[in-house]
Amino acid sequence: RKEVEQDPGPFNVPEGATVAFNCTYSNSASQSFFWYRQDCRKEPKLLMSVYSSGNEDGRFTAQLNRASQYISLLIRDSKLSDSATYLCAVSLGGFKTIFGAGTRLFVKA
Amino acid sequence: DTGVSQDPRHKITKRGQNVTFRCDPISEHNRLYWYRQTLGQGPEFLTYFQNEAQLEKSRLLSDRFSAERPKGSFSTLEIQRTEQGDSAMYLCASSFGESQPQHFGDGTRLSIL
């Protein structure tokens, strides 16, 4: 079993739709969680950290479920520019951060 | 913009050649990471520096790979006797503290002919 798993997608949604991704992790000692966005042939860019109580940044909401060991990302009112690959990252503390393989999102007009 | 910078952006070389990549982290970040990413995969950890000390190396990092961060600022990653399987995007990231989010450079895309 992979340490961090994501549904690769692709998710194809119309503009304005709400879409959600999950990311499961295997190590219950994981301490910090992040979502990154990666455009084709570009570097990952930090989208948001994920806090225990859940957090929101504009149209993006991130949540953590420690009991079931997953994090989620919700995107409301999808824009064409949201089309990208979304990577989750899980840190065990110290240096070690494990990245998922990413979920591809296509938003269509 | 004083983000993480990497050089070169692209490198094409013949199998068997040596290549060296450079990474300049965000200036106040004392932690520096190297990753490798291939198509359809997330970044895979290669090695980690805290200041000038290389504290961890992945088993992915064969003896053909070496990394340095001599003064605790920029870092270099060298691959000797390159193989076709080394073709990938090599990403550098830096962070300010433990469990803090990492910020990536543009990456160096390596193609082995």
Residue A74 near residue A18 (C-beta atoms within 8 A): yes
What is the pLDDT confidence band of residue B1, given thresholds at 50, 70 and 90? low
Per-residue pLDDT tens for A47-72?
A: 999 999 999 999 999 999 999 999 99
Residue A101 touches chain B, beta carbons under 8 Å: yes
Tell me the C-alpha distance between A102 and A97, whole Å. Answer: 14
Residue A43 touches chain B, beta carbons under 8 Å: yes
A104 residue type, one letter? R
- For A86, B67, B75, B104, the CA distances from A48, given in Å and listed in that order, are 11, 29, 26, 14
- Please name the residues between 29 and 88 in chain B that touch chain A, using a CB distance below 8 Å: 31, 33, 35, 40-45, 48, 50, 55-56
Residues in A touching B101 (Cβ below 8 Å): 32, 34, 46, 49
Q: Strand B65-68 vs strand B53-57: parallel, antiparallel, or unpaired?
A: unpaired
Residues A81-95: what's their mean pLDDT? 92
Nearby residues of B33 by Cβ (< 8 Å), 6 or more positions away: A95, A97, B45, B46, B47, B48, B49, B92, B93, B94, B95, B102
Per-residue pLDDT tens for B19-53?
A: 999 999 999 899 999 999 999 999 999 999 999 99
Tell me the C-alpha distance between B10 and A107, whole Å. Answer: 29
Q: Would you state the pLDDT for residue B43?
A: 96
Residues in A touching B103 (Cβ below 8 Å): 46
